[in-house]
Amino acid sequence: MSKRKIVIEPDPILRKKSETLEKVDDELRSLLDDMLETMYAAPGIGLAAVQIGILKRLIVIDISKEKEKKDPLFLINPEIVSKSKKTSVHEEGCLSLPGHFAEIERPAECQIKYIGYDGKQKEIKASGLLSTCIQHEIDHLNGILFIDYLSKLKKDMILKKLIKNKKELNKIVL
Ligand code: ZN
């Protein structure tokens, strides 16, 4: 396993639609392992492949609270089958928008169809934090970021700060 570099907004790749995968092989599993390592190291609870610059419909998630008991979830080609009418609000952050958080309202429950690490078709019903996390990550696969749900004013403010931070990071001191 190796850690990859996380893409930070603004970056045009984060706005692109990721591609569906045709087959699950060892090469793909190795990429999923890298994504998981990158997510744990960040640390974060969810990561989409586009966030390491790969436009494939792949997501890793681990919302387990205890560090000793890891409980990773690998989602290949995830699809939302149904969403609840009932909504819930969580404060969301994103590894591609470091330091920024906002309360986002989403369907409280969702049913997901996906292919697992073993290559088999699976289906789960998610609620609570897992439901929010899956919807946030599937948004990434469609080029959507959580700031897109905010008012233009709030979104522009966050983007301005991110651009400023990026400029600071690119400065070199000799
Ligand atoms: Zn994110």
pLDDT in tens, 14-69: 999 999 999 999 999 999 999 999 999 999 999 999 999 999 999 999 999 776 78
Cα–ligand 1 centroid distance for 110 (angstroms): 18
Q: Mean pLDDT in the chain?
A: 95
**pTM of this prediction?**
0.95
Cα–ligand 1 centroid distance for 173 (angstroms): 30
What pLDDT is recorded for position 157? Answer: 97
Q: Please check the confidence at residue 166 and state whether its pLDDT lies above 90.
A: no
What pLDDT is recorded for position 172? Answer: 76
Task: Look at 174 and 119; give whichever has higher pLDDT.
Answer: 119
What pLDDT is recorded for position 100? Answer: 97
Residue 5: both structure tokens together? 């570099």
Residues annotated catalytic, as ranges: 137
- Cβ neighbors of 132 (< 8 A, separation 6 or more) are 88, 90, 92, 104, 106
Cα–ligand 1 centroid distance for 123 (angstroms): 22
User: Cα–Cα–Cα angle for 132, 19, 25, nearest 5°?
Assistant: 95
- In the block, residue with structure tokens 């990026």: 166
